[in-house]
Structure 1
Amino acid sequence: MTHQSPDTEPAVPDSNHAAWNEFCRNLAALGERRLVLLEGDRSRALDWLAGLEGSLQPEAVLWVGFREQSPLATANVTEPRKAARWLGRELDWVVWDGCAGNPPDGLAALTGTLKAGGLFFWLMPPLAQWSGFEDPDYARTGLETAESHPFAARMAAILQSHPGVVRPGPDGMPLPFPADRATKPFRPGTTPDQEALIERLVRLGQGHRKRPLVITADRGRGKSAALGIAAVRLLRAGRRRILVAAPSLGAVDSLFRHAWLEAFGTEPAEPASRLTLEDGGELVFLEIRELLARQPAAELVMVDEAAAIPAPLLKAVLLGWPRVAFASTVHGYEGSGRGFDIRFRAVLDAETPQWQSATLAQPIRWARGDPLERLAARLFLLDAGAPTPPPVKREPEVTLWSPASAPETELSEAFGLLVSAHYRTSPGDLRQWLDDPRAVSWVLRTGDRLAGILWATREGGLDLPLAQEITLGKRRLRGHLLAQSLASHSGFPEAASQQLLRIVRVAVPADLRGQGLGRRLVAAATCWAAEQGLDAVGTSFGGSTALARFWEGCGLQFVRAGLRREASSGEYPVQYLKGLSQSGQALQQRLAGRLAEHWLTLVPLNWQNMEPALLAQLSASLPAPAGMTADDRRDLYSFARGYRGYL
C-alpha cells in the first residue's frame, strides 16, 4: 500500500520508530521487502535515518554514497558505481543517496541483496523534479548535456502509483501495513525445486559423461547455493575434486558460503576460494581463463554466471571435462543471460545432444510476488521478453521510432528483443537508449507486431584541432566510440571530424533471422544518414564470422580490429564503415587500404589466437595492399616524435 504526499510538499518522515519496527517485523513474516522513497529535505531525512537506525538496530546496512555524508553508525559504505559488487550479499537495509549518482545497474543489483523484511531507502528530490534532476552519474556516459531525461521521468511515473512503494509523509503517520497478514511466517531456506536441482546435480556428478546440465533461473532463486550444497554432497559421496569456474571470485561468494555451511555448519571467516574436507576431497575455484590454461583434472566442473562468459570459453569447458554444469541468471540485475541461452544452445545440440536443462522459479530469500522484486522488474525491464512474431506473413515495414515516447508495452517488447539478441543488455543500456540525445532508432513491423529493432547514435563532427589531439592521443572524450577509435588508431583525424552514424544494436527474433530483415533495418538507417548529410555509417562489435558476413552483406567495409578481446563478449572488437559522402568514401578507402598494407605484419603480433575462420574472412575482405605511402612516412614521423605508439 502506498502512503503518498503531494509533490509540492517535500516528504520527510517524522520519528515513528515503533511503527517502523512493527512494519519490518510484519514484512519479514510475509517474506517481503519494500522501497522507501525519501523525497525533499535531505538533511532532515538523514537525521531521521540516523535515529531510526539506532532504534531498529539493523544488522547489515549499506550506505551508497559519499562516506563523509553517511549518517549511519554501523553501515558499510560503497560508491554508486561500485554498488553492483555487493550482489550476492545479504542485507537488512540499503540506503542510497541519489545526490551521489544513480547508475541503473547498481540500483537494480542492490534490490537483490535485501532479505525478507529488508528496506531500500532512496534519498531523492520530489518525483515531479526527476526529469530535470542533474544526476551526477550522467557525466559518466555522456548524458549530462541532454535537455531532458525520459528514463528518470519514466521511473518517477512508475513510483508515483506503484503499490510497492512507501512514501512517508511529513505528518509522521504510522506506515500502512501490508493488507494480508501472514498466517504462516515466511522462513528462508531450501525450496522444493532447489532440493530437486541439488539431487540432479548429484546424479550428474556420479553419472554418465557428456550429459551436461544447463541451469537457468532469475536472480535470488538459489542456483549458486544449490551448486555449493551439491558439490559438498558429491565430495562426501566419494568424488575427489570438483572445480568451480566463474568470471571472478566475487561471483561465487554465495556458492562457497553455502558449501561451507553444508560441510562445516558455519560460514567462512572471509570469502573462500577453496574448501577441503577431512578426507582430502576438495572444491576449488578457478577464474575461467585460468581453468582453461591449466586444464586441471576434475570429476565435475561447475560454471556459475555462465551468461557473463564468452561462448568460445564455455565451449572449451564443455569439451575439456567429462561432466559439466552451467548455471546462468536469466533476468539478472547485472544484465540478461538469455543471449547465452540462445547462443549456447546450438553448441550443446552439436557437441552434446544429450544435454539436460533445469530451471528454478521459487525465490529463497523472499516470498514469491515480493513487491520490491516486481518494482525492480518494472523500473528496469528485467523481465522484458521478445515479442512472438505473427504466423501470417506480411510485408515488413521499417519506420523511425523513439523509445522515449513509446507506450510501455511496446518499449518492453523492443527492449526484450535487444536482450534476446545480445550477449549482455543491462539496465544502464535502457537509460542510455532513452536519454541519449544523439540516438536514433528504427523498428521493423510485420502487421501490428514488432519484428526488428535498430539502435544507432550519431558520432564525430568534432572540430579539426580537437580531432587532431585525439589522433595524437592527447585527448579522449566520453562517447564517440567509433569515431575516436578510428582516429586514434589509424592516425586520420578526419575519422573524428566527419559525422558518423554508429549502429549500436540490431535485433531480429531468432526464428525470423536469415530473411533479410536485419539488412532492411541497416538499409533504412543508411538511407536516413545519407539524407541527413552524414559522412558514413559504421559499427563496432565482438567479432564472429556470422556477424562479419552480415555487415559485409550490408555493404560495410572492415577497417579495424581491436588488439585485446572484449571483457563482455570474449571476442576481438571489429569495426566496419561505409562512406556515404565523397569525403566519407575517401575515409573508408584510406582506412581499409592502410589496414591492408600492414595486415600480414600485424596478424602474428596481435591476433594469433583469433578464430581461424574469422581471420580468413577478415583477410579476404581487405583490398590488395600498395607500396610505401605518404601515410607510412607520417606514421614513422609520429612514432619517432613520441606522438603515437608502435601499434
Structure 2
Amino acid sequence: MLTTGYRQLIFATHMNSWQQLLPAPTDLSLVLSDSPSQGDATLSRYRDYLGHEYPCVVIDCTNSIHVDAIAALAGTITAGGYLVLVGNHPTSAIWQRFKSAWSELQQIPQGQPPQASELPALPTQQQRTLLKDLNNTAAVHIVTAPRGRGKSHVLGAAIAELSEHQPDRRVVVTAPRKANARVLLNKAPKVQFVAWDKLLKEKKADALLVIDEAAGLPLWAIQQLCNDYTPWLMATTVEGYEGCGRGFAIHFSQWASEHLANVQQHALEQPIRWPINDPLERWLQQTLLLTKAPADASRNEGLLTTQARQLPEADLHQAFELLLEAHYQSSPNDLALLLDDSSQFITLLYHQQRVIGVCWHALEGPLQDDLCKPIIQGKRRPPGNLLPQAIGYYLQQPWALKTRWCRITRIAVHPDFRRRHYASALIAEVKAWAKHNQCEALGTSFGYSPALAKFWQHNGFTAIRTSNKRDRVSARHQHIRACWLTDTAPTNWHPLVDYAQAELQWINGNPGCSLSANPIIQQIKKAVANGYMPEAAAAFALSQG
C-alpha cells in the first residue's frame, strides 16, 4: 500500500492504541474526539478542517459514529496517508458495513499485487481545459467534483489570472467558512474573502461572485447572492458533505438554468491528492452508496415496508439514491440512522424491478413519565421524538408526549414517475402501517410552501404548528402537519387545529379573527408568564388579545 501511494484505513479499539497501529509514524495527524483532551477538536467542528490536507486523520467513534465527519475528512488525506477510526460497535450495522467493505477491498488475488500509480503532474489536462473555460466572465460556471480533484485550485488560478489581466475588476470570494477556501485563497492571495452572511447585507452588485464549497451554504442564500451580485464561479463537492452535494447540484443547477443566463456546467474526475483507484475512496463510495445504483432491484412490483438493514444491497442503494437526489440536505449520517436506529422504517414502491419511490418514517413517543414535565417546562429536549416534543412544548400539550406517533421524515419519487400519485400511494401505505402498529397519529415536518401544504392537505394532513422563525437552510417556516388515526382524538385536538390555521394565516400576513378564547392561547401565555417559553416563540399567541 505504501509503495503505491494508496491510502489506508485502520480500525483501532481504543484511543491510546491507534498510534501503534500505523505502519509508519507521523506527527501531522488531525485527531477529532468528543472526549476532553483526546483530540484537536470535537467531532461537531469537522467542517473547520475542510480545505486542509493531512497525512493522517483520526476520528474517535467510541461514543458515536459521525459518518458525515468520516465522509468529509477522508477527502483531506493525502497519498499514502491513513484514516483511523477508533471504536468498537459489534451491533452497529453501519460499523460492520465499514469493516466488511474494507476487508473485501484488501482481498488481492494471488500474484496480482497493486500496481504503482503516480500522482498526476499539475495542472492536469482536465484542469487546463477548465481554466481556459473559466476565463469567460460573462458566463456562470458551476464546477462539481468529488473531493481531491483540485477544483478549488483551479478556481484560485482563474481568479489570479483575471486579477493579472483586469486588476480593477472586483472579485469577492465566499464559502461556508474561510478555512474551507484555504486552497483557493493560497492560489489567489490578493482576492477579498467575505463571509456569506455579510455579503448578503452589503449587496455590491458590481463584484464578480465566487463561491467555494457551495453545498455548505443554504440554498436560499446562494440564490440571493446570485441576485445581488454577478455570479461567476461556483464549486461544490458532490459527495460526503452536509447537505449532500449531489442533491445540491441537482437542485441548484435546475434553479440556475431557470433564473441565470449563460450557465455552464463543468466536472473534474481525475484525483490529484491520491492515485486513481485509491482503495480508501472506493471504500467510501461503496459503504455510503455514493456511486450510481445498480439497475435491478430484488422485487418487480408493489410496496414493501421494512427496516433498511433488512433490504438487499441493490434495493437499499436505489432507495438511498432517490433520497440523496430528491432532498439536498440528505447526508451520510442519514444512512447510518436508517441502518442502526430500530425506530426508523422505510417503505419502498417497486415498478419493473426498480425502486421508483421511497418513504422514510419513524416511530416517536410515548416519552417516559419523568421526561414529560421537564419538556413542557423547556428544561429538557432529548434527541429525537420531534413531533411529540414540538407539540408538547411549543403548544403546551402534555398529551402529545404520551402519544404514539409515526413521523414521515422524507419522501421521494423518481423524476420519471412524478405527478402520477405515487407519493400519495406511499403515504396511504404508511398510514395503514402506522394504524397496524398501534400509532395514534401520523405527522410530518417540512419547510412551509403553499404547494407542499396543498399536497399534504390532499392526503388528509391538517396544520398543527408553524414556526414564526425561518429555517436557516431552507429560509422557510418550519411547518408541522398531522392526522389523527384513532376514533377518539384528544380533547384539545380541534382547538389545536383552529389555533394552527389561524397561526399560519398570521405568519402569512393575514391577521384573521381573534382566538382569545381558544384554550391553546391561554396555555401558551401561561408558559410565557411562568418563564418556560421565550416571547419570540409565542409571538402569535401573545398577539391575540
Normalising by structure 2, we get a TM-score of: 0.88
2:532 equivalent to 1:643: yes
C-alpha contact 1:65 1:100 (8 A) present in aligned 2: no
Structure 2 regions of 5+ residues with no counterpart? Answer: 539-545
Partner of 2:272: 364
Out of 222, 240, 251, the position equivalent to 2:169 is 240
Q: Deviations over 1:492-524 (max 9, x none)?
A: 111221111110110111222111111111111
Change (3 A) 1:643 1:301: closer
Change (3 A) 1:570 1:627: closer
Out of 1, 6, 10, the position equivalent to 1:36 is 10
Q: Name the amino acid aligned to 1:489.
A: Y
Structure of greater Rg = 1
Using the alignment, how far apart are the partners of 1:51 and 1:341 within structure 2? 38
Q: Name the amino acid aligned to 1:247.
A: P
Using the alignment, how far apart are the partners of 1:188 and 1:88 within structure 2? 20
Map 1:37-186 to 2 at 5 A. Answer: 37-38=11-12, 45-46=17-18, 48=20, 52-53=24-25, 58=26, 60-65=28-33, 77-99=40-62, 101-125=64-88, 130-132=89-91, 149-163=92-106, 179-182=113-116, 185-186=118-119
Using the alignment, how far apart are the partners of 2:300 and 2:10 within structure 1? 48
Distance apart, 1:69 and its partner CA: 7.3
Q: Name the amino acid aligned to 2:184.
A: L
Out of 351, 364, 373, the position equivalent to 1:446 is 351
Using the alignment, how far apart are the partners of 1:405 and 1:502 within structure 2? 20
SS for the counterpart of 1:632 is helix
Change (3 A) 1:235 1:588: farther
Moved more, 335-344 or 373-382: 335-344
Using the alignment, how far apart are the partners of 2:127 and 2:493 within structure 1? 55
SS for the counterpart of 1:448 is coil
Q: Name the amino acid aligned to 1:550.
A: F
Using the alignment, how far apart are the partners of 1:285 and 1:455 within structure 2? 40
RMSD over aligned CA atoms reads 3.1
Q: Deviations over 1:173-202 (max 9, x none)?
A: xxx9992453x7435632211222222222
Aligned residues between the structures: 533
Using the alignment, how far apart are the partners of 1:121 and 1:311 within structure 2? 33
Out of 376, 388, 395, the position equivalent to 1:483 is 388
Partner of 1:193: 126
Change (3 A) 1:547 1:254: farther
Distance apart, 1:597 and its partner CA: 4.6
Change (3 A) 1:46 1:521: closer
Out of 234, 256, 262, the position equivalent to 1:326 is 234
Q: Name the amino acid aligned to 1:107.
A: I
Q: Deviations over 1:401-453 (max 9, x none)?
A: 32101122221111111101101221111110111111121100113111101
2:304 equivalent to 1:399: yes
SS for the counterpart of 1:444 is strand
Distance apart, 1:92 and its partner CA: 1.1
Using the alignment, how far apart are the partners of 2:260 and 2:520 within structure 1? 51
Distance apart, 1:316 and its partner CA: 2.3
C-alpha contact 1:597 1:627 (8 A) present in aligned 2: no
Using the alignment, how far apart are the partners of 2:34 and 2:449 within structure 1? 42
Moved more, 87-96 or 230-239: 87-96
Distance apart, 1:385 and its partner CA: 4.5
Map 1:218-229 to 2 at 5 A. Answer: 218-229=146-157
SS for the counterpart of 1:356 is strand
C-alpha contact 2:240 2:332 (8 A) present in aligned 1: no
Using the alignment, how far apart are the partners of 2:231 and 2:520 within structure 1? 54
Map 1:222-301 to 2 at 5 A. Answer: 222-238=150-166, 239-260=168-189, 275=190, 283-301=191-209
Distance apart, 1:480 and its partner CA: 0.4
Map 1:555-566 to 2 at 5 A. Answer: 555-566=460-471
2:242 equivalent to 1:313: no
Change (3 A) 1:228 1:388: farther
C-alpha contact 2:464 2:480 (8 A) present in aligned 1: yes
Partner of 2:500: 595
C-alpha contact 1:309 1:569 (8 A) present in aligned 2: no
Structure 1 regions of 5+ residues with no counterpart? Answer: 1-22, 71-75, 133-148, 166-175, 261-274, 276-282, 604-614
Distance apart, 1:114 and its partner CA: 0.9
Change (3 A) 1:235 1:500: same
Change (3 A) 1:51 1:556: closer
Change (3 A) 1:341 1:77: closer
SS for the counterpart of 1:540 is strand
SS for the counterpart of 1:399 is strand
Using the alignment, how far apart are the partners of 2:529 and 2:27 within structure 1? 61
Moved more, 315-324 or 300-309: 315-324
Using the alignment, how far apart are the partners of 2:182 and 2:493 within structure 1? 48
SS for the counterpart of 2:464 is strand
Moved more, 355-364 or 544-553: 544-553
Distance apart, 1:337 and its partner CA: 1.8
SS for the counterpart of 2:157 is helix
Using the alignment, how far apart are the partners of 1:525 and 1:308 within structure 2? 32
Partner of 1:628: 517
Q: Name the amino acid aligned to 2:181.
A: V
Partner of 2:541: none
Normalising by structure 1, we get a TM-score of: 0.75
Distance apart, 1:333 and its partner CA: 4.2
2:257 equivalent to 1:349: yes
Using the alignment, how far apart are the partners of 1:82 and 1:386 within structure 2? 35
C-alpha contact 2:8 2:279 (8 A) present in aligned 1: yes
Using the alignment, how far apart are the partners of 1:532 and 1:587 within structure 2? 24
Q: Name the amino acid aligned to 2:151.
A: K
C-alpha contact 2:71 2:284 (8 A) present in aligned 1: yes
Change (3 A) 1:124 1:529: closer
Partner of 1:271: none
Using the alignment, how far apart are the partners of 1:474 and 1:226 within structure 2? 50
Q: Name the amino acid aligned to 1:541.
A: F
Change (3 A) 1:232 1:492: same
SS for the counterpart of 1:215 is strand
SS for the counterpart of 1:568 is coil
Change (3 A) 1:580 1:369: same
Q: Name the amino acid aligned to 1:65.
A: S
